[in-house]
Amino acid sequence: MSDGELNILEEVLMDSKLDARVVLSLVPGVRNEIIEGQRGIWIHGGVRRVADAFLRSAAFESIAKVGLAGLGVRIAHFLRRFLTSWRRMKGFGSVADESEVFRTVDAALLTVLLELDRHLPKGLGKGGAVRNELNDLVDRGVDCFERAVDLLESHHRLFVLSRLYQSRKMAAEVLATWKRIIEGERDDGQELRDGEQRVREYLSKVSSRALIQDYGVWLANRNPRLGVQVFAEDKARVPSFEPALVMDLLRQEAPKAVKYYLEHLVFAMENTAYVNELITYYLDVVLDELESSAASREAVMTAYNAYRALQAPKPTYQHFLAENAPEGDEIWQSRLRLLQLLGGPHDFDSAGIRARIGRLSGELLVPERIILAGREEHHEDALRLLVHSLGDYDTAVSYCLRGGISVHVPPESRDGAPADPLPAAEQRRRLFRVVLDEFLAIDDVSDRVEQTGALLERFGAWFDVEEVLGLLPDSWSVDVVSGFLAGALKRLVREKHESMAARALSGGQNLRVNYDLVVGIKVKGPAIETPN
């Protein structure tokens, strides 16, 4: 038949109001979808005789062997249009045996669309009008739900099946179907993209706490970083999970996700109760790697040597370490986070951490040892390590300016209140005296001269001139301390001028007081004192 004849046939069939099931009974591949009620199908006698004759013919037997696929694309599209037209009559009440008819029509249309779609490109956004019609059919819901599930399963169209479940708001079945696809079960449409992310987003809209927990754990095992977001969701439709409950759950069922949840609690939620546990995790990762890998130990020492070789001015060692950390390297990232926590305003077991770090050579984990020494007020050790083991001279000076209360940044108080004031000037003066001794002991002569001269010139006010001159080697040129001496002289002159100004102001104040006294006496006049 030509396309024109097919169009005419479609119009005749629709105008005749012939039961769609009669037409479908003549089509192999869909005739088995016909559903009859107790009364059967009402049909004119003449139509029945023609239909029976065709079904007994050799022509029907030949096409019945190849099924729907053997009829060709043109006939399949004819059936698609015909059945779609019938679906438009749904709900108007003008069709006898409406339930049986439309269950049959929906099942047959789904079968035809699946057959047409089978030959189209796979993947999301492909397939054209047929794919769109297939998705629209299941999204709007079908009357033959159970049969549709069987058809989609038999055609291995799991993603379309998940859409059918979504049309019925069957969240558990949707998630179970996506899980099957993600775990590798055959899905011929290949339309699910970023399946794990899709599950994570869908869980934020689910109202069943049990489903969220089950699939959150499943996702945390497959993709720990993504899985913990399920339990960290603060805009979900169910109350937030208690951190203690989530921690117990992940420890038992998804241990690889524990770290990511701890990071969420500590860094995102600022929950300091878990700082110690996260520090322990990072420390385990770093220590295990350095103890087991000679290459990692060599990489750490190479980083120290590279930093010491930099010419001034240079960044702090922690900034240098962050800039040169291999992207995606869990060991390096764990160490950076460890340093961040150790240097932060958190309470933790510093003595226990120092004991664990002591298992390694003293040349390893130098920044960690510096931070711990500072927290325990072993300021001389902290400055010695900063100057000689790291060569981080600027951080050593900053440490003195902060009075030893922090190695890297001024800390916030542990309860969120404003930070404590800086230590007394005498404490900072003492630390500057210590760092001067360390600078004078730098092995490299050029670094020794450069750093000592810069320290004295920039922070000379913290030093006693006579004491400094007694410490400097006689062989050093006066140019090294010229800035320091000039600054000291300026301070002496300024102090002298300030003293003179103060005395002048004091003299003027005395004159004013005497003047006021004389004026007051004149105003009151003389007074005579008599006995009694």
Give residue-wise pLDDT tens across range 161-196.
999 999 999 999 999 999 999 999 999 999 999 999
User: Is 263 a member of any domain?
Assistant: no
**Of 509 and 182, which is predicted with more confidence?**
182
Indicate whether 386 belongs to any domain.
yes
Closest CA to 181 of 172, 171, 190, 173: 190
Whole-prediction pTM: 0.75
User: Last residue of a domain, which of 57, 89, 119?
Assistant: 119
Judged by average pLDDT, the poorest of 59-63, 181-185, 422-426 is 59-63
Nearest to 32 by CA among 202, 151, 197: 151
Among 74, 98, 119, identify where a domain stops.
119
Three-class DSSP category at 376: coil
Q: Is residue 87 part of a domain?
A: yes
435 is a domain residue: no
Q: Which one is predicted more confidently, 86 or 382?
A: 382
Residue 375 inside a domain? The answer is yes
| Res. 520 pLDDT band, cuts 50 70 90 | confident
Number of domains in the chain: 2
Residue 192 lies in a domain: no
Helix axes 158-167, 128-140, angle to 10 degrees: 40
- The boundaries of the domain holding residue 375 are 272-423
Task: Give the torsion sign (CA, 127, 129, 130, 135).
Answer: positive
Q: Which amino acid is present at 500?
A: M
Of 92, 94, 111, 117, the closest CA to residue 24 belongs to: 111
Give every CB contact of residue 461 below 8 A, 6+ residues apart in sequence: 487, 491
Instruction: Tell me whether residue 278 is in a domain.
Output: yes
| pLDDT tens-digit map of 334-367 | 999 999 999 888 888 888 999 999 888 878 899 9
Q: Does some domain include residue 261?
A: no
Look at residues 69, 98, 119 and tell me which one is the last residue of a structural domain: 119
CA separation, residue 439 to residues 443, 450, 472 (Å)? 9, 9, 11
490 CB-contact burial (10 Å; exposed 0-12 / middle 13-18 / buried 19+): exposed
pLDDT of residue 418: 47
